[in-house]
Structure 1
């Protein structure tokens, strides 16, 4: 029995150390992290990790992000070790940026979502694919819808391509967003809208407050 008690204590101690570490690296309070960890455990399907399907359900039902391709890219941005599951740290760090990120953190997050092959650039082809997936381009039945998307790609390049090399680097993207924050989600919505975000944060804060 004593050894079991020691093991339990060490487990709680390890958890508290992890929470303190995450508190220093995120925009969450200790109680908010505890609540998010509880949520992570409920969403987990294997080895205390969230799989792609559960995460997509959360994005769709809680944050109204509905585009299949974008949901997969958001999951990829959270999944730093590329094991197709989100562990506790990936979940907390990802949600910190997703819900309370600074403008620089959000620039990096959105860029990673849009940089489909992770080569450090958003290419003309990637822009075309993202815009085609995310937008309905107006036109009559005789128009080729791809032409409208191509026009939007050219507009995006003029706005974002600071060094005129026909692709968008992270520095291009960051500079453009600092000039005009409305460009942040220019290739598809990958962040929660304000009402959904505030509702989620209020839920965490309210339930965390009850533990005080």
Structure 2
């Protein structure tokens, strides 16, 4: 029988929910395995001004109070954390008496990965972390260069206290690997293949991934055009919240978010 003549399986609501929970279990296993992956090579260092202020400029705080979900005291504590991260990264750069490398101002990719992994608990796939870094809003700089304090604070605001719509947009942008406005079957395959653990004895492990892609696509593709737009994704996640991080963890757990926010309060009280 030709592939086109194969009957399409009918999935009940109960079976669909069970399958979605299976996706979450598969992805959780993949995240545990990701802890063993080697660190990526350090990024190219960029020249910039030194951080020498103990508190952010008043105008910066005023703007961020309006555009983020942090208050003034939290922003000051976050700035202190930002300064320490930048200073630690600068101190780790090898020095040369003849030709010292320029110091990077801002959060570089290596520091970003460390905070996401160790502090916010994002034990996720390399492709997801890379996309999270690239898609982080940098203002006029787009997705290039280190993260200065303003975009760092705005991005953390979404991660830690983002609205449902902000969280959906963040995850969608991460999964849209080529940033063309759609999550395609190829992108789903790439993300899920990196997430799932290969089982011993599997003759064609990719076949299982392709089956999973077809299952998730049927859940996400509202207009049935073979790809997932932001509107498709938004509608599907509103109906089934398990689909929010269907292709890899992009957001910290409530526990990790709460612990990070408590750190801000503690740091501010100890100033």
Q: 1:21 aligns with which of 63, 66, 86?
A: 63
DSSP 3-state at the match of 2:228: strand
Confirm whether residue 202 of structure 1 aligns to residue 259 of structure 2: no
TM-score under structure 2 length normalisation: 0.69
Q: 1:70 aligns with which of 128, 139, 152?
A: 128
* Separation of aligned partners in 2, 1:115 and 1:142: 29
Do the aligned residues in 2 keep the contact of 1:70 with 1:113 (CA within 8 Å)?
Answer: yes
User: CA offset at residue 47 of structure 1?
Assistant: 4.7
Q: Corresponding residue for 2:43?
A: none
User: CA offset at residue 56 of structure 1?
Assistant: 0.5
Do the aligned residues in 1 keep the contact of 2:136 with 2:143 (CA within 8 Å)?
Answer: no
More strand by share: 1
User: CA offset at residue 26 of structure 1?
Assistant: 0.7
Q: Corresponding residue for 1:172?
A: 232
CA RMSD of aligned residues (A): 2.0
Gap regions ≥5 residues in structure 1: 1-10
Q: Corresponding residue for 1:30?
A: 72
Q: 2:251 aligns with which of 186, 191, 194?
A: 191
TM-score under structure 1 length normalisation: 0.87
Q: Corresponding residue for 2:82?
A: 40
Larger radius of gyration: 2
Change beyond 3 A, Cα 1:40–1:208:
same
Change beyond 3 A, Cα 1:192–1:133:
same
User: CA offset at residue 13 of structure 1?
Assistant: 10
* Separation of aligned partners in 2, 1:103 and 1:41: 30
* Separation of aligned partners in 2, 1:140 and 1:207: 48
Q: 2:110 aligns with which of 49, 53, 72?
A: 53
Gap regions ≥5 residues in structure 2: 1-52, 91-102
Point out the more displaced range, 46-55 or 98-107: 46-55
